[in-house]
Amino acid sequence: MAIIEVTNLGKKYNIGERQNYLALRDTLTYIIKSPLKWFGGKVKSLQSRPDNEFWALRDVNFTVKKGEVLGIIGRNGAGKSTLLKILSQITPPTTGEIRLGGRVGSLLEVGTGFHPELTGRENIFLNGAILGMRKKEIEKKFDEIVEFSGVEKFIDTPVKRYSSGMYVRLAFSVAAHLEPDILIIDEVLAVGDSEFQKKCLGKMEEVTKKEGRTVLFVSHNLAAVKKLCDRCVVLNNGSKVFEGGTEKALLAYDNLQSSRELKMNKGEYNNNRRGSGTLSFTEIEMFDTNDKKRNMFNIGETVRFKMSYAVLNEMEGLYVLISLYKDRLNGVLTTVKHELRNNVIKKGENGSAIVDVELSHICPGEYSLHFWLGDKMALHQGTPLNYDVVDNVVGPLVIKASSEEEKEMAGYFTLPSNMNILK
C-alpha cells in the first residue's frame, strides 16, 4: 500500500518576483504607458511573463510504499529540495497533487522548527508539538532524544549558543525519535561529524527495518544512499529521469555527470572539476584504435583517449594520469600514468596528446573515468592534485566479455603491467 503518491507534480517560480499582487505605483505606471491594453482588459499580470517563469519541478510522478526508504538524487539545482518542501507542506505545488498517508517529520535545514531564544529542552517540546506529538509522547522519549543527540551538558542552554553541529544533532534526534510515519531528510547530515553520521545512519536503518517507518532521503553521499535506500528517484532540471533500484539509479546519476561539457579550468572548483588552473584540459574524447567514437569495448581491445590542454604557467615536464573506477563508491581501481612531455614548457603553450590503454585482464563492467594533468615535480613531490583534475567528462567506459572463456575469467582480476592501484 502506498503511503506517498505524487501525481503530475510541478512547481513554478517567477524570477525576480517579490509578491503576488500589483503595487498601485506599478498599476498607474502601466496605465500611463499602455492605456489601451489596460482599459481593453488585456492585462493579466505585470510580473507573470513567460520569459520570467522558472519550473523547478515539472510533471513528477512516483509512489512510495509504507516502510520503504526512497533515495532522491540529482545534481545541484535538480529540484530535490523543492520536492521535499512540497512533500513537507512548506510550499504548495503549482500543478499536480500529493497524497500522504501519515504524519510527516521533516529535517530539511539545520535547526528547522527551533526557536533560538529557547533552550534545547524547550525546543524538544516545541519541535515535538510542531510534528504533532502530544506532551506525554515527548516526555516518554525525552531521555532517549537527549542521550542520542549528545548535548546533555547543554540541554538547558539557549540553542542560539549551539554550534551548527549541535543544532543538527538535536534536530535529527527529535525527528528520528518522535515517531512520524514519514521521515524526510535533506543533506543536513553533512554538518555532523563522522561518528554522529554513523549513528544517524544506524538509527535510520532501525526506524525503517524494525519500526516500519517510511524515509525519503536526499544526499550526495552515494555510499549512504547505496546502504540505506531500496529504490531511488533521479531528478535532472526539475524532471524525473529515472526511478528504480539503487544500483541502476546510481549509474543513471553517473551518466548525468558524464554529459557535462568540459570548459577551461581557471582555478574554480566544481562537482566534477578541481585544481589551481595552472594548466588545464580543454577537451577530452574517447575513441577506439580506428578513431571511431565509442564507449563500449570488449576485453582485450584498446581504448584511445585524445586530450587537448593549455599551459597557463611554466612547468618542467608534463604528466597525465587516467584512473578507472569500478564504481564511485569503492575508490580508484586502476591508474595509467603517461608522460606527455619531458622538457620545460612555457606559459601560453597549447598541446594535445593521445594515450592508448589496453583493456586486458580486466573485469567486465561499467567504469567511471578520472583524469589528472600536472607537471613532473608535483607528481614526484606527492602533491598530484594541484593543477587540473576532472571526473566523468567522457564515458562511462563499458567493458564487455567477448567470449565464453573471458566470461569464465571475469571473476578473477589481474592488473595489466602498465596499471597500478592508486591509494
pLDDT score at 327: 55
pLDDT score at 343: 80
- Give domain limits for the chain: 2-255, 263-411
- Look over the chain and give the mean of its residue pLDDT values, rounded to a whole number: 76
Q: Measuring CA to CA, which residue among 55, 49, 68, 89 is closest to residue 3?
A: 68
Render pLDDT for 167-218 as a digit per residue (tens, 0 to 9).
Answer: 878 888 887 777 778 888 876 555 556 677 777 777 777 777 777 788 898 8
DSSP secondary structure letter of residue 230: S
Report the half-sphere exposure of 408 (CA within 13 A, side-chain side): 3
What Å distances lie between residue 97 and 9, 100, 325, CA to CA? 6, 10, 40
From the number of C-beta atoms within 10 Å of its C-beta (0-12, 13-18, 19+), residue 412 rates as exposed
Q: Which residue did the predictor score with more confidence, 179 or 33? A: 179
Q: What whole-number distance in Å separates Cα of residue 282 and Cα of residue 305?
A: 13
Q: Which residue did the predictor score with more confidence, 133 or 245? A: 245
pLDDT score at 39: 53
122 Cα distance to chain centroid? 34
C-alpha cell at 303: 581504448
Q: Which residue did the predictor score with more confidence, 1 or 184? A: 184
List % helix, strand, coil for the chain (3-state, nearest 5): 30, 35, 35
Indicate if the pLDDT at residue 35 is higher than 50. yes
Q: What whole-number distance in Å separates Cα of residue 272 and Cα of residue 328?
A: 12
Identify whether the C-beta of residue 37 lies closer than 8 Å to the C-beta of residue 98: no
Opening angle at CA 263, ends 260 and 267, nearest 5: 115
Secondary structure of residue 241 in the 3-state scheme = strand
pLDDT score at 344: 81
- For residue 261, report the phi and psi dihedrals to the nearest 5 degrees: -75, 135
At residue 304 the predicted structure's pLDDT band, cuts being 50, 70 and 90, is very high
What Å distances lie between residue 75 and 217, 220, 233, 250, 314, CA to CA? 15, 8, 12, 12, 35
Least confident among 114-123, 218-227, 319-328: 319-328
> Of the spans 40-49, 51-60, 87-96, 364-373, which averages the highest pLDDT?
87-96
Q: pTM score, two decimals?
A: 0.55
At residue 338 the predicted structure's pLDDT band, cuts being 50, 70 and 90, is confident
What Å distances lie between residue 327 and 223, 234, 330, 369, CA to CA? 10, 17, 6, 10
| Average pLDDT of the residues in 104-115 | 71
Instruction: Give the class (CATH, top level) of 2-255.
Output: alpha beta
At residue 294 the predicted structure's pLDDT band, cuts being 50, 70 and 90, is confident
**Do the strands 365-375 and 315-325 form a parallel or antiparallel pair, or are they unpaired?**
antiparallel
pLDDT score at 5: 93
- List, in sequence order, every residue forming a beta bridge with 336; answer none if it has no partner: 322
Q: In sequence order, which residues have a C-beta less than 8 Å from that of residue 88 and are 6 or more positions away?
A: 104, 106, 108, 184
Q: How many residues does the chain have?
A: 423
Indicate if the pLDDT at residue 48 is higher than 60. no
Q: What whole-number distance in Å separates Cα of residue 316 and Cα of residue 385?
A: 16
- The neighbour count for residue 52, using CB atoms within 10 Å, is 13
Identify whether the C-beta of residue 9 lies closer than 8 Å to the C-beta of residue 59: yes
Cα R_g (the chain), whole angstroms: 27
What Å distances lie between residue 49 and 13, 33, 79, 147, 363, CA to CA? 11, 17, 22, 53, 54
ω into residue 92 within 30 of 0, thus cis? no
Share of the chain above pLDDT 90, in %: 14
Opening angle at CA 367, ends 363 and 369, nearest 5: 135
Q: Which residue did the predictor score with more confidence, 97 or 16? A: 97
pLDDT score at 268: 55
Indicate if the pLDDT at residue 257 is higher than 70. no
pLDDT score at 57: 93
Q: What whole-number distance in Å separates Cα of residue 165 and Cα of residue 285?
A: 43
pLDDT score at 95: 93
- For residue 159, report the phi and psi dihedrals to the nearest 5 degrees: -70, -10
Indicate if the pLDDT at residue 254 is higher than 70. no
Dihedral sign computed on CA atoms, order 76, 79, 80, 81: positive
Indicate if the pLDDT at residue 423 is higher than 50. no
Identify whether the C-beta of residue 324 lies closer than 8 Å to the C-beta of residue 422: no
Q: What whole-number distance in Å separates Cα of residue 208 and Cα of residue 182?
A: 10
Render pLDDT for 122-181 as a digit per residue (tens, 0 to 9).
Answer: 999 988 887 677 888 889 989 999 998 888 999 999 988 988 778 878 888 887 777 778
C-alpha cell at 409: 575469467
Render pLDDT for 260-283 as a digit per residue (tens, 0 to 9).
Answer: 555 555 555 555 667 666 778 888
Instruction: Give the class (CATH, top level) of 263-411.
Output: mainly beta
